[in-house]
Amino acid sequence: MELNHRRVIYAQDIMNFTGRSKSCAYNMLNQAKASLGKSKIQILTVKEFADFHGIPVSELENSLFGKPDQK
């Protein structure tokens, strides 16, 4: 199975998507983690972040990674 892009979201991704500052991006990331019962050291997936903030997953993925190649 070949992945077209990564599944984990980082603060830098949130900064690029929202246009917000680094500190705001970290706050958004930590709010989503807290809501899902994750500790600060656990990773958050793109889907978890999108679902928490009410953003369509496909819109977030297209913005961050571009459209995956269709084979």
The string of pLDDT tens digits covering residues 40-69 is 899 999 999 999 999 999 999 999 888 655
Confidence of residue 71 (pLDDT cuts 50, 70, 90): very low
Which one-letter amino acid corresponds to residue 4? N
Instruction: Please tell me whether the overall predicted TM-score, pTM, comes out greater than 0.75 for this model.
Output: yes
The backbone torsions φ and ψ at residue 55, rounded to the nearest 5 degrees and listed phi first, read -105, 135
Collapsing DSSP to helix, strand or coil, 61 comes out as: helix
Q: Helix 46-53 crosses helix 22-35 at what angle (to 10 degrees)?
A: 90
Collapsing DSSP to helix, strand or coil, 25 comes out as: helix
